[in-house]
Amino acid sequence: MRIPAAPATLPADSASVPLPGWDPAWSALVPIATVDGQRTLHVLDTGDVLAQAGVEPDGTILAVHGNPTWSYLWRSLAAATVRAALQGEGPVWRVVAPDQLDMGFSERLPHGSLPRPAAAAGTPDPVSANDAGYRTLGGRLADLDALVTALGLDVQARAGHPLLTLGHDWGGVVSLGWAGRHQDLVAAAMTLNTALHHDESQPIPVPLQAALAGPLLPGSTVVTDAFLRVTTALGHPGLDRELKAAYHAPYTSAERRGGIGGFVADIPVGPQHASHPELRRVADSVATFTRPALLLWGPKDPVFLDRYQADLLQRLPQADLHRFETAGHLLAEDVDIATPILRWAGQVLDGTARTRVLHAGVGNGSATDTNEAEGEGEARSAVGSGTATGHWNETTGRPLWSYLDDWRDSSAPALVDMAGDDQTPLSWNRLSSVVDAIATGLVARGVRPGDRISMMVTPGRDLTAALYAALKIGAVVVVADAGLGVAGMTRAVRAARPDWVIGKVPGLAVARSQRWPGRRLSVSTLPTPLARALGVEDSLYRMAHDHDGSRFSGPRHADGTVHVPAPTDPAAILYTSGSTGPAKGVLYTHGRLSALAGLLQDVFHVRPGSSLLAGFAPFALLGPAIGATSVTPDMSVTRPASLTARAVAEAARAGHATILFASPAALRNVVATAGQLGPEDHAVLGRIDLVLSAGAPVYPQLMAQVADLFPRAEFHSPYGMTEALLLADIDRNAITELSAQAVDPTADASTPDNGVCVGHPVGPVRIAIDPLDADGNPTGTLLEGPDAAGILGEVVISAPHQKSGYDRLWLTDSLSRRDTKDGLDWHRTQDVGHLDSAGRLWIEGRLQHVAITAAGPVAPGGPEARIDALDGVSRSAVVGVGPRGTQAVVAVVEVSAPDRARTTRPGLAPSELTASVRAAAAPIPVAAVLVTDRVPVDIRHNSKIDRTRIAQWAERVLSGGKVGTP
């Protein structure tokens, strides 16, 4: 079968096929003079539209699609840039996106036969086409060269008009390769899922294996549209019929699908392939690219797997990366790519995007990243300079492991692990020795500063020793809570992509079965067959034995100097609970963790020599950094409510505990199981001086019950989050006083405080309010002190111990930052609330859960707190139902167990309950009251309400749909 050439056409020629979101004014046919003569490309170009509007572009984005898509892939970006330009929002970008030759509506090439796998290297004229007639990688690079010349983009770039490249799929290879060769023209490079190198020891991704099978290639790519159909079925969520038809529009016959087969045949799967040398040249040129780079990635892609992302990051260490965890191959269809692209491109224009300077690094010819953007350099540097003395001083604090070095001669207890097999207290002397031995063993095994280590170990002595050994080396510890479940942990670990995994057998088995990245080390020494089955190379126990007595001096650079982690070096990636979406990796530096330890000392008086009984893992791990004995109770770390009163008493007795830190869910179970305690147990609990509880609001009734168990203790309820663990604090007396005022009929209720009071900012923490506008959006103005009193807005914080950034979530990190104020780094919490006249913070819910009514935004926290106080109500959720801007406020009530028999089944609430709820919620007008057996909350905290799910259920019920349960 011979496929003849065909001229380029405009999409309008296929008017019978609708193209949703496509503006015909973008289409142009552009003649180019390329390697094999004159050709014509169909090009999406917004230049004419901007010119007709009298708008001059500030720069150009040159976008290249892959196979088997066409420039339609970039329509949302084109539309967003035109819309922003016409509305005067931000820089003006011209988008130029060609249909590659033989693709889309560009000119078709004559094919001597149906495409087949390329011949071995040495095929005549590999630059433009092989004997089958299809375009090769070299030819596509030449075509892009010709288009840039034809449109004068090179002249504009040399005149100071920034040119940014963008690609996807095999178009990512073309665009990155072109950018690598034209760094004099390119201001920055961007790409969606793509690959520059395939490790021959790894299998080819399954979807490509079938397409590349010689006899199947023509049939699946050209004779039929199978390859095209498979690709357009990869959406998350799936593409609707019209969108699929739009992508199929240029490929309606075998004569028009020759380029699809040719593109597949040109995939260089091995050294014998004609395009393999060209791909190597592309990869090498990209590794020298010093301009800013942005990677946007869909991890659900079955073709471009995470290992290709890792390779790109090695070649582009300066790259900003954002992973859209729910997206896949068709990233441009799955999510909004215009927002991150335009936000990041703006940073390129204003000079704050990261660049790379190539020089001979510390003995290894490495690259150093530079970044002028406020607050981002320390979060993203791979490894600091790490001199022999480090950079620690009175301002930055002291290293987290400093007490281990100071107290290495002390026989006082450092750790008591009631959940482990060995409950014998571990002395400071022994802990210091074990940490040094493990650190020495890890370096000998190959762990280097900046390596990421996933810790699959439950809190206790093993985890503490492993963690502090890793920190002393300068490795980055990755902690993903087991409460995320296997799927959540797998998503987190693949996002972090650790170099090493340290675990016990259950964790290592999961790592093996889920194919987690990273070399594996076990905690205990395993039998050889089991170690081989799990892929384990060594054990911490063996390291502790083999290097016992070693004094760890730190890893050495190639020039012989010792690396000591600096305050600005990354130290840990802690994953959020995942209760409000996919868990996010929160990056901390050594200095910021040190500041957190200092805050515990200064604000809560956790002094060296104290004994901290922690039912909350992060604080158990901070004990050695404070010089406090860490006591781990016997409980399940994935279920805080498994902590019993007897377990607390036994741990307090063994560790002589003076401080208890536990979540409200844990404390509720401690109170519920207090009947297990004997007189001696009560005496032990009577020695506790301080009880801290965070993670959820603590109500006065629970505080009173806890006070009965710990009669000597002060009770504090700090407010914080994974991004900043301690921000504000309120004690029992203040909560009791506020609770009494709330029910006092003589109190002035003209301006009641809504929500849950979490107290005053602690230590150096500053809290501001960003007021919400009528549409529920923050205005961008930060108010503090009396100026913020009573104003509903997003809570914005600044603290020396807050996160350095979000790991591999560039957009999330960028959106979470506020413009600096007074030289401070501000973090948007997405909590909403207000400050009262006394400067205390009240939390009223989450930003995404605010109902946007015709009268303005309504935060759920205030009315929920008043409804929850009603007799017979176990929990409530206040949500907005209907179109944003005219939403109705609906209250969904979970009735307490004894009262359920007197209510109807889930659905509309009885009239008496409805009246009570409306009265309690006043002055918020509640349009409807629904009852349910269960208001869904997260398992981890047993408090974070899934209001999105509740709102969907309420809308279904009120529209007459199936009731069911939320």
Cα dihedral: 529, 531, 535, 537 (round 10): -130
Q: Exposed (0-12), middle (13-18) or buried (19+): which is 791, by Cβ within 10 Å?
A: middle
Together in a domain, 114 and 244: yes
Give the pLDDT of residue 1.
46
Closest-CA residue to 245 (of 232, 254, 261): 232
**Token pair 């590999």 is at which residue?**
126
CA distances in angstroms from 613 to 620, 638, 691, 826, listed in the order given? 7, 17, 10, 32
CA dist., res. 345 & res. 108, Å (int): 33
pLDDT band at 898 (very low <50, low <70, confident <90, very high): low
* Residue 641 CB-half CA count within 13 A: 9
pLDDT at 380 over 60: no
CATH code, 81: 3.40.50.1820
Q: What is the DSSP letter of 662?
A: -
pLDDT, residue 13, reads: 56
Count: domains in the chain: 4
CA distance 494 to 489: 8
Nearest CA to 82 out of 47, 133, 113 is that of 47
Token reading at 866: 């008043």
Q: Rounded distance, CA 868 to CA 865, Å?
A: 5
Closest by Cα among 947, 951, 776 to 854: 776
Are 551 and 495 within one domain?
Answer: yes
Residue 692 lies in a domain: no
CATH number, position 904: 3.30.300.30
For residue 125, what pLDDT band results from cuts at 50, 70 and 90?
very low
Does residue 715 lie within any of the structural domains? no
Mean pLDDT of 643-664: 92
Q: Using the 8-state DSSP alphabet, how is residue 788 labeled?
A: G
Q: Is the pLDDT of residue 942 over 90?
A: no
Say which DSSP state 563 is in. Answer: P
Q: Are residues 99 and 233 in the same domain?
A: yes
How much of the chain is helix, strand and coil, in % rounded to 5?
35, 20, 40
Lowest-confidence pick of 29-43, 375-389, 606-620, 707-721: 375-389
On the question of pLDDT at 561 being above 50, the answer is yes
Calpha distance 746→631 (Å, rounded): 47
Burial 579-614 (b: 16+ CB within 10 A, else e): bbebbbbbbbbbbbbbbbbbbbbebbebeeebbbbb
Does residue 524 lie in a domain region? yes
Give pTM, 2 decimals: 0.90
Each residue's pLDDT tens digit, 900-912: 555 567 888 999 9
Q: How confident is the model at residue 543 (pLDDT cuts 50, 70, 90)?
A: very high
User: ∠ CA 585-589-595 to the nearest 5 degrees?
Assistant: 115
621 falls within a domain: no
Same domain, 890 and 767: no
**Least confident among 439-443, 752-756, 950-954:** 752-756
C-alpha closest to that of 63 among 331, 302, 316, 324: 331
Question: 243 in a domain, yes or no?
Answer: yes
Local confidence band at 945 (pLDDT 50, 70, 90 cut-offs)? confident
> Which pLDDT score is estimated for 210?
58
> Which of 31-35, 278-282, 307-311, 868-872 shows the lowest per-residue confidence on average (mean pLDDT)?
868-872
Instruction: Give the integer Cα–Cα distance in Å for 645 and 670.
Output: 4
Token pair 């799936």 is at which residue? 238
913 and 828 in one domain? no
State mean pLDDT over 369-389: 40
The CATH number for 458's domain is: 3.40.50.980
We report the CATH number of the domain holding residue 787 as: 2.30.38.10
Residue 48: how many other CB atoms lie within 10 Å? 13
Q: How many CB atoms are closer than 10 A to CB 161? A: 17
Angle between helices 645-655 and 664-672 (to 10 degrees): 100
**Range with the poorest average pLDDT among 475-489, 538-552, 613-627:** 613-627
The pLDDT-based confidence of 388 (bands split at 50, 70, 90) is very low
| Long-range contacts of the stretch 949-953 (C-beta < 8 A, 24+) | 950/877, 950/879, 950/892, 951/879, 951/880, 951/881, 951/890, 953/892
Q: What is the mean pLDDT of the chain?
A: 87
Are 184 and 165 within one domain? yes
In DSSP notation, 500-526 reads: EEEE-HHHHHHHHHTT-SSEEEESSPP
Residues 920, 837, single domain; the answer is no
Is there a single domain that holds both residue 912 and residue 798?
no
Residue 903: per-residue pLDDT: 56
Q: How far apart are CA 913 and CA 902, in angstroms?
A: 11
In a domain, 108, yes or no: yes
Of 590, 611, 640, the position where a domain reaches its end is 590
Last residue of a domain, one of 590, 606, 627: 590
pLDDT tens figures, 813-862: 999 988 666 778 899 999 999 999 999 999 999 999 999 999 999 999 88
On whether residue 635 sits in a domain, the answer given is no
Final residue of a structural domain among 782, 816, 847:
847
Give the pLDDT confidence score for residue 559 in this predicted structure. 81
Q: Categorize the per-residue pLDDT at 693 as very low, low, confident or very high, splitting at 50, 70 and 90.
A: confident
Q: Which pLDDT does position 367 carry in this prediction?
A: 40
Mean pLDDT confidence for 944-955: 88
Q: Which tens digit of pLDDT belongs to each residue from 354-366? A: 888 654 333 333 3
pLDDT at 55 over 60: yes
What is residue 672's predicted lDDT score, i.e. its pLDDT? 93
Q: What is the pLDDT of residue 694?
A: 81
Q: What is the pLDDT of residue 940?
A: 52
User: Which residue segment(s) compose the domain that 302 sits in?
Assistant: 11-350
CA–CA distance from 747 to each of 359, 731, 842 (Å)? 69, 21, 18
Same domain as 842, residue 861: no
Q: Which residue reads 């007490």 in tokens?
A: 403
For residues 161 and 270, membership in a common domain is answered with: yes
pLDDT of 347 strictly over 80: yes
Residue 959's contacts (CB-CB under 8 Å, 6 or more residues apart) are: none
Do residues 804 and 746 share a domain?
yes
Instruction: Please indicate, yes or no, if residue 716 is contained in any of the structural domains.
Output: no
Query: pLDDT category, 375, cuts 50, 70, 90?
Result: very low
237 and 306, same domain (yes or no): yes
